[in-house]
Structure 1
């Protein structure tokens, strides 16, 4: 019994300990809850104030952005208004420019009604040119007339067929014959592009430049292509299609034929293209222009203590021209002076402009024209010497050959025309050349005789004979100059 009481007391003490432990844990839990509640209240207070501050900041930013948006919208309305105003002004400007473009070409019908006689030649010269270029053409012709030769000395080269007021809309292809240059081989209708003189000169200069680069290629090994063959290769590479090649080929050919009387540059290109001239003539003229450019540069350096400024006094330039071109007469020097005045009025000359690739320099045009005049003068001198030789050698010339040298009808013709019906031996040609140009060496004379007879110098036979017109035609193909070396 006592044992059971002890167990009961022990059990009660255990329960009391458990109750005390539970009460302690409960008290601890209440303390934790109170602590957490306090912390939670602190967090709520902190975040509450933070959110209130954040909301205020965002509200201010929103108001600021709204104000900026309204300002941007107002600016946009202003820009739209200005844009509409600019578009209106642009349309008015375009309309005015279109009217100006429509009015910038001469009205040849009106001019024809206001002037007596025919203006077909001027219409042809000024076709597709604006007023500025038309005035340039007029001034250049006036400059030429100012120092032109007397009417009896002029050589009329412009034919009526080249003064047609209108051009065909189409060309008819000449076929596919192997006798034709490759750039003209085509069957069918070809549209006429009416290439202007300025565009044609740009094409010609680019063609010469490309040909020089092509002939200089290592693969060519010094072989020089003909201009006709290169023009075909040039157009073929540029356009590909034979139809387009023919279109440009025919248009370039026709433009050269039409404009060749107004530009030595075009005349020479067309002559080489059609195998009338050797390409050497072009290179000779190019070298003459380069030598002239070098002389201007050296004079510039001398006048400005070794510093080239690109500008020289025109009076000094005129003195230089007379000093280095002693073979030119007063008329030719005056032509050059007038051309310089037409290019650049005033006392100073910006010579660099004259030699720019895109410059339309009247001075260089006159230089080229005078180079061609010197060639014709040289041929005329040879013809005169040959005619004098024939007259001295024959006391009773045959009517069919040498009677024409003294007849009144023959005297009305130029020496070259009189020589056309003569028969020239190689011996006559050699003697005449030596007498007319005594400074030439025998080798140079033999080369000219060979060219005149259409053979190599060593292949000319002593008793070979050629007609006078053929002799002059063959000589005209190549370079001609007085003396034993080329002169500027």
Structure 2
């Protein structure tokens, strides 16, 4: 007996198709129910495929006892099924109707193979995936058939299991790769959209310029056509003048030839006369007496010649009496050409002067209207104005007396004087509850050096103006001090405060006294003045000093950008409102139209240029002696602060319900909100929030921090969006 006939299989007798269907149908529902649910992921790393119980394939049959399958001897006399399952070139089992294809019937297959093919065919039909195409359900059905095959062939089970594991491992790896590449695909789509938006914005910016260039090109084309027409006209005039000149020259040649002929005739007559006289003389010498007849004939001939010569001379005089020389004609022609050019220039100058005169008349008319309007407003205000209060009386109720009040109130408006009086009253009432002395904080090392003192310190009751002036001087001195350092790091503000006070006051008592008074005044005016509030937070270690320097850099860059825009327009020191708006849109591409219009509105209010077309932009980048800025820069800082708070709120949304945050959680939240942030800025933010030096982040991991502390540190730090906001 051949090896093919000795295959032993534990094959049960095949039940009726009805019983087979009753058992398999519910199992199909159990196996494939929820394939796409969260607990079952086909192709994932954690997927595990268990072999279904043998009863699924062989219901109600004892699978422990084996039977002898003598194939193909068992198939004698049996009918061959017309429908079989074949293996395609893609190594997949495909249902093939051999009778429909006209193939002859072959020797039947082994029973186990027929059962597997029948089971696979029913599975594919039950799942509705008979079409040969990539599908997870088809893969699962083939996987189960392969599991039956592996379990049945004990001898080949190791190698078949190894092959199956390799395929499963490769499928899982490919699925993981696809899952990892999905975020990159989304990021690529986002970057593509951002690039498209930038291209559209650049096209919008260039659209107006292209329109202007087209208009200029059309104007130049029109000018060229006019000049061509003028050239044709001038060429026609030149040709006509050349023809006239040729005719005149021909006449001149004719007259010249006629004159030469006349001169020749005159000379001939003269010569004939001389010859005749010489002949007469010779004849008289030969004869003793002249012949009267010959003399009479000669006289008659001479008179005829003289009459003819006189007639020709009169004719020449009549014909050429008005003819001028050619050099005189050319001189007159050049003079006429110069006069025509001067006339054209004068006519152009007259048109320009007339246009300027009309413009001046319009300006004069507008000025007269504005004057009348201002006069009416002045009269209205004069009638409705109330008497000015006697502000000198406030000097009796302000700390420092009348002299100090006159000093701090000089040059201020009524509204500013009211605010100043309120601040002085509030400052005097809030200053240590009116106490004359401060209590020292001790000499412990935790106390800042400029506050280390035991005992009582005199309360000077510093006002807001004095505090602002002192803070401004401290910022200036600290910038110089930090610039002199070689390590590039900034000195802490509480440490520099002692250095600054030590430079200004030699006595230790004065250093301590001014330190306590400055700290007290900063506490009182922190809410009223944002500059004092920022300095106070930096001084006590709650605020980031980089915020102050960032604002200064941003203002300097904005002024430089506006100056460059002015230089492109002629460096006049002013910008039109349209150019000013374009410059702001170029410098702040992330701001919408409403915010840009708000900045322009504040600039018009500050410069009092509501009805003017140009803005003197440099006047907006000035501050008073207290460090206060105008409406424009105040609005710039306000919008920057609002953008920062919006950025912080987006970060806070990723904290969830956590009560404490670690470094990695905060890093993940910031990277999610700002995907394009660089590593340096991210490390700066984390080192500020967790109060650790940036160099130590890679060496040690800080302990988690309370989420409320993290939120407060984010609001008080130099935290700003680095990349563009996702749309």
Residues 1:480 and 1:103: Cα distance change in structure 2 (over 3 Å) = same
The 1:244/1:426 distance shift into structure 2, 3 A limit, reads closer
* Deviation at residue 277 of structure 1 after TM alignment: 1.9
How many angstroms does 1:288 deviate by?
A: 0.9
- 2:662 corresponds to 1:435: no
Residues 200, 255 of structure 1: 8 Å contact kept: yes
Contact 1:174 1:184 in 2 (8 A): yes
1:244 aligned counterpart, secondary structure: helix
Residue from 599, 602, 605 that aligns with 1:336: 599
Map Cα deviations across residues 394-429 of structure 1 (whole Å, 9 max, x no partner).
xxxxxxxx3xxxxxxxxxxxxxxxxxx622244432
Structure 1 residue 380: Cα displacement = 1.0
Change (3 A) 1:293 1:435: same
Alpha-carbon separation, structure 2, partners of 1:447 and 1:322: 29
Please name the residue that 1:480 is paired with: 719
Segment of structure 1 superposing worse, 436-445 or 284-293: 436-445
**Displacement, 1:485?**
9.2
Residue number in structure 1 paired with 2:497:
231
CA–CA distance in 2 between the matches of 1:318 and 1:104? 45
The partner residue of 1:316 within 550, 570, 579 is 579
| Map 1:345-360 → 2, pairs under 5 A | 345-346=608-609, 347=612, 348-356=614-622, 358=624, 360=628
Aligned to 2:589: 326
Partner of 1:257: 523
SS in 2 for 1:326: coil
SS of the counterpart of 2:705?
Answer: strand
Name 2:698's counterpart in structure 1: 458
Alpha-carbon contact 2:590-2:724 (below 8 Å) kept: no
- How far does residue 245 in structure 1 lie from its aligned partner after superposition? 1.7
Per-residue CA distance 1:163-210 (angstroms, 9 max, x = gap): 985542534132332322222233444444443433333322221111
Q: 1:353 to 1:251 in 2, by over 3 A?
A: farther
| Residue of structure 1 equivalent to 2:412 | 132
Give me the whole-angstrom Cα distance separating, in 2, the residues matched to 1:269 and 1:163. 18
Looking at structure 2, the residues matched to 485 and 213 of structure 1 have their Cα atoms a distance apart, in angstroms, of 34
Aligned match of 2:168: none
Counterparts in 2 of 1:171 and 1:372: CA distance versus 1, 3 Å: farther
1:454–1:474: 8 Å Cα contact kept in structure 2?
Answer: no
**Using the alignment, how far apart are the partners of 1:379 and 1:459 within structure 2?**
27
Residues of 1 paired with 2:510 and 2:428: CA distance?
26
- Structure of greater relative contact order (alpha carbons < 8 Å, 6+ residues apart): 1
Which piece of structure 1 moves more, 368-377 or 311-320? 311-320
On the 8 A contact 2:527/2:533 being kept in 1, the answer is yes
How far apart are the structure 1 equivalents of 2:528 and 2:642?
14
How do residues 21-420 of structure 1 correspond to structure 2 at under 5 angstroms? 102-103=392-393, 132=412, 135=415, 165=429, 167=431, 168=434, 170-177=436-443, 178-217=445-484, 222=488, 224-303=490-569, 305=570, 307=571, 309-328=572-591, 332-333=595-596, 335-346=598-609, 347=612, 348-356=614-622, 358=624, 360-362=628-630, 363-387=632-656, 402=657
Who is 2:302 aligned against?
none
Q: Structure 1 residues 302, 138: closer, same or farther in 2, change over 3 A?
A: farther
Question: In the aligned structure 2, how far is the partner of 1:334 from the partner of 1:138?
Answer: 31
| Cα deviation digits, residues 5-35 of structure 1 (max 9, x gap) | xxxxxxxxxxxxxxxxxxxxxxxxxxxxxxx
Deviation per CA, 1:231-260: give whole Å up to 9, x if none: 221111112112222222222222222222
Stretches of structure 1 that go unaligned for 5 or more consecutive residues are 1-98, 109-127, 140-161, 388-401, 403-420
Indicate the RMSD between aligned Cα atoms, in angstroms.
Answer: 3.7
State whether residues 427 and 463 of structure 2, in contact with CA within 8 Å, keep that contact through their aligned partners in structure 1.
Answer: no
Encode CA deviations 1:107-151: one digit per residue, 9 max, x unaligned: 99xxxxxxxxxxxxxxxxxxx657835625999xxxxxxxxxxxx
Structure 1, 439-448 or 174-183: larger mean CA deviation? 439-448
Question: Could you say which structure has the larger radius of gyration?
Answer: 2
Aligned mates of 1:334, 1:480 — CA distance in 2: 26
C-alpha separation between the residues in 1 aligned to 2:654 and 2:719?
16
Q: How big is the shift at 1:106?
A: 12
Instruction: Please state how far the C-alpha of 1:335 moved relative to its aligned partner.
Output: 4.6
CA contact (8 A) 2:603 2:620 kept: no
Q: What is the CA–CA distance in structure 1 between the aligned matches of 2:394 and 2:411, rounded to whole Å?
A: 6
Alignment correspondent of 2:189: none
Maintained 8 Å contact 2:558/2:587: no
Q: Secondary structure at the match of 1:249?
A: helix
Counterpart CA distance in 2 for 1:315 and 1:135 is 33
Deviation by residue 1:77-126 (Cα, 9 ceiling, x = unmatched): xxxxxxxxxxxxxxxxxxxxxx9661578999xxxxxxxxxxxxxxxxxx
Structure 1 Cα separation of the partners of residues 459 and 616 of structure 2: 39
Q: Is the 8 Å Cα contact of residues 312 and 351 (structure 1) preserved in structure 2?
A: yes
Quick one: distance in 1 between partners of 2:418 and 2:391? 21
1:207/1:443 CA distance change after superposition, 3 Å: closer
- Indicate if the aligned counterparts of 1:228 and 1:274 stay in contact, CA closer than 8 A: yes
Deviation by residue 1:275-302 (Cα, 9 ceiling, x = unmatched):
1123222211211111112122112212
| C-alpha contact 2:542 2:713 (8 A) present in aligned 1 | no
CA distance, structure 2, for counterparts of residue 210 and residue 355 of structure 1: 21
Aligned CA distance change for structure 1 residues 204 and 368 (closer, same or farther; 3 Å)? farther
